[in-house]
Amino acid sequence: EDLCLDDQVEILPYDVRWEFPRNRLKLGIQLGAGCFGRVVKAEAVGVKDCEESVKTVAVKMVRSQTNVAALEALVSELKIMIHLGAHLNVVNLLGACTKSIIKGELLVIVEYCRYGNLQTYLIKHRKNFINQVDEFGYLLSDAEMQERNTAIILKKDCPGDENQIKIQEQFEVKYVVEKTTSVPASATSLTIEDDKVPGQTDGEGCSGDVNPVSFGVCQQDPDAANNVRELTMSTTDLISWSFQIARGMDYLASKKVLHGDLAARNVLLADDGVAKVADFGMARKMYYEGNYQQSGEKLMPVKWMAVESLTDRIFSTQSDVWSYGVFLWELFTLGKVPYPGMEANHQLIRQLENGYRMEKPNFAPNYIGEIMSGCWKLDPNDRFTFSQIEEKISSQMESAV
Ligand code: ADE
Ligand 1 near 173 CB (within 6 A): no
C-beta separation of 91 from 276 below 8 A: yes
What's the CA-to-centroid distance between 375 and ligand 1, angstroms? 27
Tell me the whole-structure pTM to 2 decimals: 0.79
What pLDDT does residue 212 have?
Answer: 27
What's the CA gap between 175 and 228, in Å, rounded? 12
What pLDDT does residue 294 have?
Answer: 60
**Residue 13 burial class via C-beta count within 10 angstroms: exposed 0-12, middle 13-18, buried 19 and up:** exposed
Binding site members for Mg(2+): 266, 279
CB atoms inside a 10 Å sphere around CB 290: 10
What's the CA gap between 60 and 41, in Å, rounded? 9
| Atom number of ligand 1 nearest to Cα 110 | 6
Which residue, by CA, sits nearest to atom 9 of ligand 1?
116
What's the CA-to-centroid distance between 275 and ligand 1, angstroms? 12
What pLDDT does residue 45 have?
Answer: 96
What pLDDT does residue 313 have?
Answer: 87
What totals of helices (H) and strands (E) does the chain contain, helices first? 11, 17
Catalytic residue among 261, 271, 272, 382: 261
In the residue annotation, 134 being an active-site residue is answered as no
Three-state DSSP class for residue 192: coil
Ligand 1 near 112 CB (within 6 A): yes
Looking at residue 133, the DSSP 8-state letter turns out to be: B
Ligand 1 near 32 CB (within 6 A): yes
Binding site members for ATP: 32-39, 60, 265
Looking at residue 299, the DSSP 8-state letter turns out to be: -
Angle (CA) 230 231 235, round 5°? 85
Q: What is the bridge-based pairing of β-strands 151-155 and 165-167?
A: antiparallel
Ligand 1 near 121 CB (within 6 A): no
Ligand 1 near 57 CB (within 6 A): no
What pLDDT does residue 291 have?
Answer: 56
Block mean pLDDT (10 aa), the chain, length 401:
47 82 97 88 91 93 89 90 95 95 93 96 94 93 70 43 36 33 38 39 34 31 47 93 98 93 96 94 59 59 94 93 98 97 90 97 98 98 98 89 58
CB atoms inside a 10 Å sphere around CB 298: 8
What's the CA-to-centroid distance between 39 and ligand 1, angstroms? 7
What pLDDT does residue 171 have?
Answer: 35
What pLDDT does residue 131 have?
Answer: 93
Q: What contacts 312, CB < 8 A, 6 or more positions away?
A: 293
Of 396, 333, 328, 387, the closest CA to residue 367 belongs to: 396
Q: What is the bridge-based pairing of β-strands 257-258 and 176-177?
A: unpaired
Ligand 1 near 109 CB (within 6 A): no
Asked if the ipTM is above 0.95, the reply is: yes
CA distances from 373 to 86, 322, 344, 355, 386 (A): 30, 9, 23, 11, 14
